[in-house]
């Protein structure tokens, strides 16, 4: 299985010619969807979901299917059965990958800011993309895509999260607002020089590709 990181929180997973894209949002290059068979969207925030980009991709490829939560599905009305709303506990096939859904809500930013729905996707019992939440799956995770920077978490919380999930590997996502100094700072705390997260941590640059599984 091959994983390529695109802007911010978007990744593409490929296996045997099948391509699955997760969270192609407003900070993601539109070409991330080139050749995609199916798309997963964790929630409605602009950095994870771009209605314009998804509608353009759907128009270009009539076979493209999109799996997401109910709030995003409502914004994609008009695409009919090509958009499927899913929720916690559901299991489905997307682009030939088995996908399990975990979680229901975005992490709390502030008590005065209403929460939106958020679902995480566990791909082929190997890769977990939590969206904007620190959801812990009830299964062993090989590769955790770790949202390392947002207004709803601290690096200390991320350390505890990695310890709880206990993946074999953790790779940074959700880092589009970090400059080089911030990236190095987070990496120092989550990596070997920090207090210990219990799993090797790596920062994957935009456009970088790794083999997983």
Mean pLDDT for back-to-back runs of 10 residues, the chain (213 residues): 96 97 95 96 98 96 97 96 97 98 98 97 98 98 98 97 98 97 96 94 94 89
Q: Which pair of tokens denotes residue 49?
A: 């979901």
Angle at CA 185, nearest 5°, toward 121 and 21?
25
Q: Partners of 12 in the beta sheet?
A: 4, 21
Beta carbons of 113 and 133 less than 8 angstroms apart: no
Cα separation, 42 vs 122, whole angstroms: 11
Q: What is the pLDDT of residue 68?
A: 98
**Stated pTM of the model:** 0.97
| Alpha carbon distance 92, 12 (integer Å) | 18
Task: Give residue 213's pLDDT.
Answer: 80
> What per-residue confidence (pLDDT) applies to 147?
98
Q: Hey, what domains does the chain have and what are their CATH numbers?
A: 2-205 (3.60.15.10)
- Residue 72: burial class (beta carbons within 10 Å; 0-12, 13-18, 19+): buried
What is the per-residue pLDDT for 16?
95
SS3 at position 97: strand
């Amino acid at each position: 299985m091959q994983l390529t990181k695109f802007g911010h929180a978007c990744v593409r997973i490929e296996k045997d010619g099948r391509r699955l894209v997760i969270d192609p949002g407003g900070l993601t290059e539109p070409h991330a969807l080139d050749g995609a068979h199916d798309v997963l969207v964790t929630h409605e925030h602009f950095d994870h979901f771009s209605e314009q980009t998804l509608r353009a991709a759907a128009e270009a490829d009539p076979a493209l299917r999109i799996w997401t939560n109910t709030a995003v599905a409502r914004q994609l009305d008009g695409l009919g059965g090509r958009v499927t709303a899913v929720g916690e506990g559901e299991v489905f096939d997307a682009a030939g990958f088995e996908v399990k859904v975990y979680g229901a809500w975005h992490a709390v930013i502030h008590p005065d800011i209403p929460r939106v729905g958020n679902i995480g996707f566990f791909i082929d019992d190997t890769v977990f993309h939590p969206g904007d939440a620190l959801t812990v799956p009830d299964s062993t995770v090989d590769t955790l895509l770790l949202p390392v920077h947002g207004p709803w978490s601290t690096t200390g919380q991320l350390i505890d999260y990695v310890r709880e999930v206990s993946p074999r590997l953790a790779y940074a996502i959700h880092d589009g607002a970090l400059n080089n100094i911030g990236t190095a700072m987070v990496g120092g705390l989550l990596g070997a020089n920090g207090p210990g997260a219990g799993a090797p941590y790596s920062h994957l640059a935009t456009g970088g590709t790794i083999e997983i599984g």
